[in-house]
Amino acid sequence: MPVALRSVLLLSAIQTLAQGIPDAVAKRQATQLRDQYDFVILGGGTAGLTVADRLSEAFPRKTVLVIEYGEIEYGRGYFDPPQVEHAPGFPGASRWTFNSLPSPHVTNKTAMVVVGKVVGGSSCVNGQFFDRGSRHDFDVWDTATGIEGFDQSEHRWNWEGIFPYFKKSVTFTQPPESSVKEFGYTWDDSVYGGTTPIHSSFPPFQWADRPIVQDALKEMDIPSLEECAGGDKAGICWIPTSQHPTTSRRSHSGLGHYAAVNTTRDNYDLLVQHQALRVLYPGGKAQDGRPPLVEVRSLSDGQLFNVTAKLEVIISAGALHTPTILHRSGLGPADILQKAGISTVVDLPGVGANLQDHSSSIIEWNYTKPLGLSPLPIDMYDPAFIADATAGFDETPARGAYTLAMRNNAIYIPLANMTTDFDTIITAIKQQIVNPPSDNAALYLPPDISTSPAMIAGYQHQLALLLKFLSHASAPSLEVPFGGGTSLSTVNLHPFSRGSVRLNSTHPLEQPVLDYRSGSNPLDIAVYVAHLRYLRRVVDSPTMRAHGAIEVAPGGNVTSTEQLADYARRSVQLSLHHPCCTAAMLPREMGGVVGKDLKVHGADGLRVVDMSVAPLLPSSHTSSLAYAIGEKAADIIIQEWENAE
């Protein structure tokens, strides 16, 4: 896909417009709030609104408050026409854009990270690629740590423990027979079954050159799978889109878990345009059996006030803001808090550590023979084509190119199946795990935690989990989305490098400081090289040669390992906007922040429910997992308070 076209599509992807989510009952002033609430949720995003919906439904006599920085808006899809229902005045209002510190190991590149700043969170601004992780992802999450109190938890986060919540969290609608016949969509109804107003479906449009790449992949003996959402996804997959099956409008938690229920829930309040600054434990004692207060700031007038939770506070501000709230609250690494002038309430070195994100390099080619196909992505430069696509998007049912969000195909390839260097990479992982571990771990952890015994132990544990995962012949290491055009991205699903999210010590109310440290563990560069070598075989396949495909990047003159490594460092996109893991579900002795019940270690009445609790990135985009975490967390909380009554 040409660079200019990718830029056009990215711009379309992150545009946001105001649209009619019912907002009459949303609160905008402290005077509109109740004296206290049973549950207070900090963040009205993907997981936070899921929890709020389920708690207010399960406990009609208990009150739930969600505090959200953003406003009630409608997030546009990747390919939605910007001129449809255009509402000026919201430039950037529904997204946070973070720029990380430079990463010296990848030519000082910086990560640009986009997350939601809107009711609905990142489900309003993402690419709508609604896949799920592999069963192996979650089975390693549940691997024994040797810490008895953690391992003996009744809450299981293996595949069997999380799969029911994937099913519950979404309503899948089968595509019409005409689309099945035209595009070859496949699925398995048994892996779905939810009735929630969060929708997934397949669009009524695909680019005509998509099958060329699919045929080339089949020539590499990659199996075509009927369904990839049931735990097994090593092969060629069809991936549904998080969109309404008729209108093709984006489906997100602001619609499904707030707008769909808010007028019928007297116990469910949403406070918008307010910032949850921190939680406050009276006397600085986090274990007195009571939940903390929540300090809130009004964005309209700067007023500060406290909100009282009777039962518990749930932080659901996402992987970048959740650790910042914890830091401001005195929950984090004691030495870092001290430098910021914050009194330590609970010393938790893992808060803000363990930052992970998907990243990608790219293979590009040109076709030297006419394809004789239509429509093609290049048609998005044709005013007549755009006009027809725009008109089609506004029809019911919607039709045309703007109904296609990111893409609907991807391959997922295990490392063992793609490279002759597999044994070399596995050996290198083992060498990083060997005793004494501190010598190796200190090299690959952020310097401010590299001497922490807990963080060293946690990183060694993660390396062991990654070794276990990558050794499976069906556990994906590489994702390659495809759907048309002349480029393919090599998505590294399981990075070894670890970054951090730190409080801006001089301006603690502003955005945190992100340090991705991409490529700081050389294993990531070795994996990139393996991915690139594997994927360039697609361009050299018989099907692609028949169409005159000529590789232009990295280019035929780039052949050696060092040349490919250099290309990877220069071409890598450091963030695919899937940050996670900064309040990891691990034992405190391993740098963990929450237990398997999602309660913050050493802090009463406080949980974290969002992507920050994941200990490792999944083999998927993160939206579907955020919903599933919210659903599972809600069940855990409901069970606890039902038993307490």
Going by the annotation, the residues of the binding site for FAD are: 118
Q: Give how far Cα 514 sits from Cα of 41, 103, 188, 219, 321, Å.
A: 24, 11, 40, 42, 11
DSSP for 508-535, please give it. Answer: TTSPPEEE--TT-SHHHHHHHHHHHHHH
Supply the Cα-derived Rg of the chain in whole angstroms. 24
Q: At what angle do helices 453-470 and 422-433 cross, to 10 degrees?
A: 160
Structure tokens at 115: 């997350």
Token digits for 368? 């030297």
What does DSSP say about strands 309-315 and 37-42: parallel, antiparallel, or unpaired? parallel
How far is residue 186 from each of residues 98, 155, 180, measured CA to CA in Å? 37, 33, 8
| Residue 65 near residue 269 (C-beta atoms within 8 A) | yes
Residue 302 CB-half CA count within 13 A: 1
Q: And the tokens for 104?
A: 């010296």
Structure-block tokens of residue 388: 């027809």
Buried b / exposed e over 415-443, threshold 16 CB at 10 Å, is: bbbbbebbeebeeebeebbeeebeebbbe
123 vs 353, 430, 625, CA distance in Å? 24, 37, 11
Q: Are 348 and 331 in contact (CB under 8 A)?
A: yes
Render the burial of 516-533: b for 16+ CB within 10 Å, e for the rest: bbbbbbbbbbbbbbbbbb
Catalytic residue among 274, 461, 472, 578: 578
One-letter amino acid at 643 equals N
* Cα–Cα dist 296/311, whole Å: 18
| Cα atoms in the Cβ-side hemisphere of radius 13 Å centred on 300 | 8
The tokens describing 247, both together, are 């209108």
3-state SS, residue 507: coil
Distance CA 274, CA 317 (A): 13
User: The dihedral of CA 223, 228, 497, 596: what is its sign?
Assistant: negative
Give exposure, 551-562, as e/b (b: 16+ Cβ within 10 Å). Answer: beebeeeeeeee
Is 252 among the catalytic positions? no
Q: Are 459 and 444 in contact (CB under 8 A)?
A: yes
Q: Is 577 among the catalytic positions?
A: no
Per the annotation, binding residues are 118
Concatenating the DSSP letter of every residue in 343-358 gives --SEE-TTTT-SBB--
**Burial tier of 333 (Cβ tally within 10 Å: 0-12, 13-18, 19+):** buried
Which residues are known catalytic residues?
578, 621
